[in-house]
Amino acid sequence: MISSSKTAVSTPTTIDRKIASALEKVSQVLRTLAWKKATEQSINPIQLQILIFLLQRPEQQVSVSLLSGTFNISKASISDTIKLLERKMLIEKVYNPSDSRKFTIQLLAKGRTSALEAALFDRALLSGIGEMADTDKENLFSTLSQLLHKLYCINVISHQRMCQTCQHYRKKENLHYCNLLQQYMAVAALQIDCPEHLALNSRQRLET
């Protein structure tokens, strides 16, 4: 349960609502692009996202639990989606030799081909972002990262493998620092889906 101190918010201002509306419009663009590409691939948007997720993590052991946390979808729904992708010969399950109940998921050759095509779904949005000045891109990324972190802190979203929710991350003299890399990081170098992410424990999360 979220504490009252975490849920207390000020009355939304006009600019707050405009920002929320703008984010919704961008989200709608992504949903439309995903639906279009998924239809072309004869899959649905969540199947498309899973294929792309697997493509981007060839060395990572991807489980149902990881996918469930990443996409904020129940394990039952993820399991059903995995079964459908398996029937389409796009993915395969790799079972744990010491425990046949556990398995990870990886792309088959056909799935990799589909994933490579699926990964192009947001090309139009990236084209629009590409027209922005570098400083505007960095400011936008910084602002969106802050928003994601705040949503994580009030339990609206979970399993965010971003720098600000990682045990390796520190803020030193108002600069971003990674203890794992032992170096300061520019805003553009911050991660929002880091494979080396080490989640905060309950106490550390309350302190963020």
The model's pLDDT over 6-43, given as tens digits with 9 standing for 90+, comes to 444 568 889 999 999 999 999 999 999 999 999 998 99
Q: Are residues 151 and 106 in the same domain?
A: no
Q: What is the mean pLDDT of the chain?
A: 88
Q: Are residues 80 and 146 in the same domain?
A: no
Model confidence band, residue 3 (pLDDT cutoffs 50, 70, 90): very low
What total of structural domains would you count in the chain?
2
- Could you tell me which residue, 82 or 71, shows the higher pLDDT? 82
Q: Are residues 165 and 185 in the same domain?
A: yes
The model's pLDDT over 145-203, given as tens digits with 9 standing for 90+, comes to 999 988 888 888 876 789 988 999 998 888 999 999 999 999 989 998 888 888 887 76
Query: In a 3-state reduction of DSSP, which class is residue 107?
Result: strand
What is the token pair recorded at 126?
Answer: 């990236």
pLDDT at residue 9 in the model:
55
- Residue 105 CB partners (closer than 8 Å, separation 6+): 54, 62, 63, 64, 67, 82, 91, 92, 93, 94
User: What percentage of the chain reaches a pLDDT higher than 90?
Assistant: 63
Virtual CA dihedral for 56, 58, 62, 68, nearest 10 degrees?
Answer: 10
For tokens 């424990």, the residue is 201
Residue 89's region, left for phi above 0, alpha for psi from -120 to 50, else beta, is: left
Q: How far apart, in whole angstroms, are the C-alpha atoms of residue 65 and residue 152? A: 18
Q: Are residues 107 and 139 in the same domain?
A: no
pLDDT at residue 138 in the model:
94
Chain centroid, CA 16 distance in Å:
24
Average pLDDT (57-76) is 88
- Could you tell me which residue, 173 or 119, shows the higher pLDDT? 119
Q: How far apart, in whole angstroms, are the C-alpha atoms of residue 196 and residue 169? A: 11
pLDDT at residue 174 in the model:
85
Whole-model pTM above 0.85? no
**Mean pLDDT lowest among 63-72, 116-125, 196-205:** 196-205
Q: Are residues 113 and 140 in the same domain?
A: no
Q: Are residues 141 and 54 in the same domain?
A: no
Q: Which domain holds residue 193?
A: 133-207
Phi, psi of 143 (to 5 degrees): -65, -45
Model confidence band, residue 121 (pLDDT cutoffs 50, 70, 90): very high
pLDDT at 2 over 70: no
pLDDT at residue 126 in the model:
94
